[in-house]
Chains A and B, each alone.
Chain A
Amino acid sequence: MSYQKSDLQLLPILPSARAPAGSVTATSSPSVVISDDEPGYDLDLFCIPSHYAEDLKRVFIPCGLIMDRTERLARVVMEMGCHHIVALMNRNSDRSIPMTVDFYQTDKSCNYCSDQSTGDIKVVGGDGLSTLTGKNVLIVEDLMDTGKTMQTFLSLVKQHNPKMVKVASLLVKRTPRSVGYRPDFVGFEIPDKFLVRCALDYNESFRDLNHVCVTSETEKAKYKAEGEHSS
């Protein structure tokens, strides 16, 4: 897996029809690919807060697997070899997303053996963009759907002339609605299903749900009114 230290060029990928299950586009680092027919797990095989039991149907990606993958991604990011990475969240909120927090933890515990310390990872919200000039920027996202929001945000960030910009997303949906953009670092490539987990849900619900789950029919109706999350 290679990377350039210069500014990342957006590599155009033709918007595709639904990608075959198991495919990984060649322009980014490998990810765990979750196939369209992944059955997930029974709810009673995991600890689920009981107040969600009737809203959820299956556990799709268990929390522990997410943590393991995040740890690996964070290490890959560290291996970029730059110090003083600015981690940027694509939202104007102080609410830290779990993935960023996990990056922090790994950064602390990671013995990066180079004579440069990795320094700090500073986290800024979407309103701190002017501070990015000349910096190494990592945009961190939990879930990428069509890629439209990320593409827009990326152009915005690049206007501030950072030294380098990379994008990491824990989950990336395989969807025909994709604009074709693919992040540099992907945790899991997932089917185009409606999933919930804390921090993926802007309604502030499910905040204590650590597994990525598929909702049951009762919940879909509740969420329909709020609109589909599309980034």
Chain B
Amino acid sequence: MASRSPCVMISDEEPRYDLDLFCVPNHCAEDLDKVFISHGLLLDGTEKLARDVMEDMGGHHVVALCVPKAGHTFFADLLDCIKELNRNSDRFIPMTSYCNDQSTGAIKVTGGDNLSTLAGKKVLIVEDIIDMGKTMQTLLSLVQQHNPKMVEVASLLLKSTPRSIGHRPDFVGFEIPNKFVVWYALDYNEYLRNLNHVCVISETGKAKYKSEAESSG
């Protein structure tokens, strides 16, 4: 299934920026080599995704469901953009959101509601990054069991990988090459949780992360 709107394609040849051109947390500077996608650019992409989601899913109550790999940054940013659009447009889209802190396994919806509330609703599954698509596939089947009216998937980043199990999200911010990049949502030992730029890892970093080389998303 093709995405509903164009996304920024970041190629291997895309220029990378020296770390000292941007604000990067000092403690992880030696693990990083270059800035690949700056945080501000990610925010611009988030804003665009929010607009695309509104245009596509508008007019009905939308339930946004998030199972982030690490933190809620993209989800919160996306919802903020949607709230802003709601404020400034003549079309208001009521949106409920659920976010789970577990990265794998059963999804428990916070607030005590269960997934039966999804029946008949438009559901938006929100991910920071999709790699192989396993988590998304699991989520999709789970959600579909509850007979929503419609389910769509939005992801800020999508890795172009041959290991993908195929389902392409409906909304994608940036498609990135299958390189070993790090980001707060791609952090394998919790050391980079406050890294909000997508960065290319350095040799030092590679040695640290070698055993975690494959993301499982």
A32-B17, A64-B39, A64-B40 given; A69·B48 CB < 8 A = no
B23 A71 Cβ-Cβ under 8 A: yes
Select from chain B the residue with minimum beta-carbon distance to A61: B41
Mostly, the A contact residues are helix
A68 B8 Cβ-Cβ under 8 A: no
Question: Is B47 an interface residue, CB under 8 A from the partner?
Answer: yes
A31 B21 Cβ-Cβ under 8 A: yes
B41 A62 Cβ-Cβ under 8 A: yes
- Stretch in A5-13, A43-51, A143-151, A161-169 touching the partner: A43-51
A42-B6, A45-B48 given; A64·B21 CB < 8 A = no
Q: How many cross-chain pairs have Cβ atoms below 8 Å apart between A and B?
A: 60
A47-B47, A47-B51 given; A66·B40 CB < 8 A = yes
Q: How far is the CA of A32 from the CA of B5 in the complex (A)?
A: 29
Distance in angstroms from A24 CB to nearest chain B CB is 11
Map CB proximity to A onto B28-62 as digits: 1 under 8 Å, 0 otherwise.
00000000001111111101100100000000000
Determine the chain B residues whose CB is within 8 A of the CB of A64 once the complex forms.
Answer: 38-44
Q: Which of A42, A63, A65, A67 has the most CB of B within 10 A?
A: A65
B40 A32 Cβ-Cβ under 8 A: no
A30-B21, A42-B6, A45-B7 given; A65·B41 CB < 8 A = yes
Distance in angstroms from B23 CB to nearest chain A CB is 5
Q: How far is the CA of A147 from the CA of B7 in the complex (A)?
A: 37
Question: Is B22 an interface residue, CB under 8 A from the partner?
Answer: yes
B48 A46 Cβ-Cβ under 8 A: yes
Q: How far is the CA of A50 from the CA of B42 in the complex (A)?
A: 21
Distance in angstroms from A67 CB to nearest chain B CB is 4
Question: Is B12 an interface residue, CB under 8 A from the partner?
Answer: no
Q: How far is the CA of A186 from the CA of B38 in the complex (A)?
A: 18
B44 A69 Cβ-Cβ under 8 A: no
Question: Is A158 an interface residue, CB under 8 A from the partner?
Answer: no
B23 A72 Cβ-Cβ under 8 A: yes
A30 B40 Cβ-Cβ under 8 A: no
Interface size class of B (residues with CB under 8 A): 20 to 34
Q: Which of B18, B23, B44, B48 has the most CB of A within 10 A?
A: B44
Determine the chain B residues whose CB is within 8 A of the CB of A31 once the complex forms.
Answer: 21
A30-B20, A30-B21, A32-B17 given; A68·B40 CB < 8 A = yes
Distance in angstroms from B202 CB to nearest chain A CB is 18
Question: Is A181 an interface residue, CB under 8 A from the partner?
Answer: no
B48 A47 Cβ-Cβ under 8 A: yes
Interface size class of A (residues with CB under 8 A): 20 to 34
Q: Which of A47, A69, A71, A72 has the most CB of B within 10 A?
A: A47
A44 B6 Cβ-Cβ under 8 A: yes
Q: How far is the CA of A66 from the CA of B197 in the complex (A)?
A: 14
Determine the chain A residues whose CB is within 8 A of the CB of B47 once the complex forms.
Answer: 46-47
Determine the chain A residues whose CB is within 8 A of the CB of B8 once the complex forms.
Answer: 41, 45
Q: How far is the CA of A60 from the CA of B42 in the complex (A)?
A: 16
Contact pick for B40, options A45, A47, A67, A75, CB 8 Å: A67
Determine the chain B residues whose CB is within 8 A of the CB of A71 once the complex forms.
Answer: 22-23
Q: How far is the CA of A26 from the CA of B51 in the complex (A)?
A: 43
Q: How far is the CA of A65 from the CA of B10 in the complex (A)?
A: 15
Q: Which of A66, A72, A75 has the most CB of B within 10 A?
A: A72
Contact pick for A69, options B6, B7, B15, B22, CB 8 Å: B22
Map CB proximity to B onto A91-113 as digits: 1 under 8 Å, 0 otherwise.
00000000000000000000000
A68 B44 Cβ-Cβ under 8 A: no
Nearest 4 CB-CB pairs, A to B? A64-B40, A68-B40, A64-B44, A68-B38
19 new A-B contacts, CB < 8 A, other than A44-B6, A62-B44, A65-B41, are: A42-B6, A45-B6, A45-B7, A45-B45, A46-B44, A47-B48, A62-B41, A64-B44, A65-B40, A68-B22, A68-B23, A68-B39, A68-B40, A68-B41, A68-B197, A69-B21, A69-B38, A71-B23, A72-B22
28 residue pairs from A and B, CB less than 8 Å apart: A30-B18, A30-B21, A32-B21, A35-B15, A41-B8, A42-B6, A44-B5, A45-B6, A46-B44, A46-B47, A46-B48, A47-B47, A47-B51, A63-B40, A64-B39, A64-B41, A64-B42, A65-B41, A65-B44, A68-B23, A68-B41, A68-B197, A69-B21, A71-B23, A72-B20, A72-B21, A72-B22, A72-B23
